[in-house]
Amino acid sequence: MKRTFNSPTMLWLALGCVLLVNGFMLGKVYFNRSEVIATLELTERELRLPYGYGFEKEDSSARVSLQWSTPVRAPVDPGLESWHWYHDRQLQLSEDHFASFNFAACSETYRVERKKPGWVLLEFNGSSYADFVARAEQHHASLQNSQPANDTEAAKKELSEKQKNAAEFLRSAKATQSRLFIVDAAADRQLLERARDKRPLTDGARLLVVPADIQPSYTRCDKDIQLGTAIQVMNLAVESLYIPRELARDFKNESSQSTKFIADIYYGRFYEPWVAGFKPFP
């Protein structure tokens, strides 16, 4: 026997589903925020405002995205053509941390594997950022003490342009680039917590373990490169953060390029972050 539902019944069922889903989501948010396990004080260097921020009809201005990178060990090339740390996502792991993901072995026919959930060790304002600045300083100093390849105007102009780029690179490293670096990863959170506890901390640095999506490096199976334990950090589990309107009201008429701010980021029980404070930079 077939049963039919009239319109009011279907309406109540739909409403019940909506309330159930919303209740579950609100409960998860509440439980996550019931305990703060870590805090970070970030600025516009680590939190990017959306494109078009400041326009009244731009609803996406209520969110910011986390900006991070991974350390690069290669030397700075003279022309800075390939020196883009703040875009890098590759990371070389230890054997046991890489093995925890249980990625498929390299073969002639198997090159790309889907991303997997895992954990990363996030370092703020620590040794990785200090190394970044140190390399920028060394690159700048080396070029400032250099001489043109020859006495021609072309050689002098080429050196002058490299010196100018090096000065801008150094200024950016010290003043605008993100100080967030992902320095390690593993599928097992406890592996990373042990690594975190052993890692030395500089003054003002912070370390925390957060969830992320991980994939083997695109080139790890290339015999000529030999990056057998290299991974690609695809994204953090939560990279876009909502700014409560009551906290963002002071930025209504600002532009995204000139806005300076400080944000208090809290991480809760589920290792999910939220914006707890958001104010103009004094």
Backbone angles phi, psi at 194, to 5 degrees: -70, -40
The confidence band for 1, taking pLDDT boundaries of 50, 70 and 90, is: very low
Residue 60: its pLDDT value, please? 45
DSSP designation for 275? E
Spatial CA neighbour of 272 closest among 24, 38, 27, 22: 38
Tell me, yes or no, whether 268 lies in a domain.
yes
Is residue 58 one of the residues assigned to a domain? Answer: yes
**Residue at 57 is within a domain:** yes
The predicted model gives 127-154 an average pLDDT of 91
* Residue 149 located in a structural domain: no
Number of domains in the chain: 1
Binned at pLDDT 50, 70 and 90, residue 266 comes out as very high
Q: What does the pLDDT look like over 206-259, one tens digit per residue?
A: 999 999 999 998 777 776 666 678 899 999 999 999 888 778 776 654 545 567
In a domain, 150, yes or no: no
Which residues does 218 contact at the CB level (< 8 Å), separation at least 6?
112, 232
What's the pLDDT tens digit per position in 110-126?
556 788 999 999 999 99
Angle at which helices 153-175 and 127-144 pack, to 10 degrees? 160
Domain span including residue 112: 38-124+179-280
Burial 237-249 (b: 16+ CB within 10 A, else e): bbeebebeeebbe
Is residue 62 one of the residues assigned to a domain? yes
Judge whether 153 lies within some domain. no
Torsion sign (Cα): 155, 156, 159, 164: negative
In a domain, 130, yes or no: no
Higher pLDDT, 18 or 37: 37
* Per-residue pLDDT tens digits for 40-51: 999 999 998 765
Q: Are 271 and 122 in contact (CB under 8 A)?
A: no
Q: What are phi and psi of 251, to 5 degrees?
A: -105, 10
Three-class secondary structure of residue 261 per DSSP = strand
Of 2-16, 69-83, 151-165, the poorest mean pLDDT is in 2-16
Provide the Cα torsion 148, 151, 152, 155; round to 10°.
Answer: -10
**Amino acid present at 168:** E
Residues 276 and 246: their CA atoms lie apart, in Å, by 11
